[in-house]
Amino acid sequence: MASLYVFDIDDTLFDTTARTIVRDYQGNEVCVLQTPEETYAYKLKPGESFDYVEFTDAELFNKSAPISKMIENYRRIQSKIQLNLNPGSKIMINTARGSFDNLDKFLETFKKHGMDVQLDNVHCAGTIPGSMPASQKKLIGIRKRLDEGSFDIVFMYDVSATNLRAFLTLRKEYPNIKFHALLVNDGDISNFNE
């Protein structure tokens, strides 16, 4: 069966050190949010905005610590695809991040951990303009891949229940495809059920 494997980056494949900065209307730093969970939970006050500049820093990303279990899982799937065990299968990186400031350095991070990642298989949802939630922007990339291929099944690995819940809504749009949401927690994978 042709499968699409969708992997998030932050806290799914890598423990990253990028932080979200909250700024006031004058651009002053209000606070720094250390984790994606803190960012999801933070409610912006009037005049505040999120600054994601650290999430575009490829050099900072290159220093990320790999989550061994997930990297091994990725490489196992990659090997199956390279051996053409499931013809038509693909891997996609789907991140809420914007574009990186150095794409070569970004790709080098994956390569040094034995992961074959090509730019055309990366969707940076943060590049999509507008105030749509990241979970919905991530779906745009998945829909594009589903419309380009002929997949029987889709697996999504993510640390965010919000992202996985949004992913499962695609069942209605693609009734002939099976969707498996997989929640990642410190490298451990469990089935996510609404």
User: pLDDT tens digits for 28-39?
Assistant: 999 998 877 788
Sheet with 49-51: list strands edge to edge. Answer: 29-33, 20-23, 49-51
User: Does residue 5 have a pLDDT over 80?
Assistant: yes
pLDDT score for 194: 67
Strand partners, 122: 93
Predicted TM-score of the model (pTM): 0.90
**pLDDT for 161-187, tens place per residue?**
999 999 999 999 999 999 999 999 999
For residues 10-26, give the mean pLDDT. Answer: 92
**pLDDT for 116-168, tens place per residue?**
999 999 999 989 998 888 899 999 999 999 999 789 999 999 999 999 999 99
The domain segmentation of the chain, as residue ranges, is 3-15+58-191, 20-54
How much is the CA Rg of the chain, to the nearest whole Å? Answer: 17
**pLDDT for 58-108, tens place per residue?**
999 999 999 999 999 999 999 999 998 889 999 999 999 989 999 999 999
Residue 72 tokens read as: 């091994």
Strand residues in the chain grouped as ranges (E): 3-7, 14-15, 20-23, 29-33, 49-51, 65-66, 90-95, 122-124, 153-158, 178-185, 188-191
On whether the 3-15+58-191 domain is CATH 3.60.21.10, my answer is no
Residue 106 tokens read as: 């970004």
User: Does residue 46 have a pLDDT over 90?
Assistant: yes
pLDDT score for 193: 82
pLDDT score for 131: 81
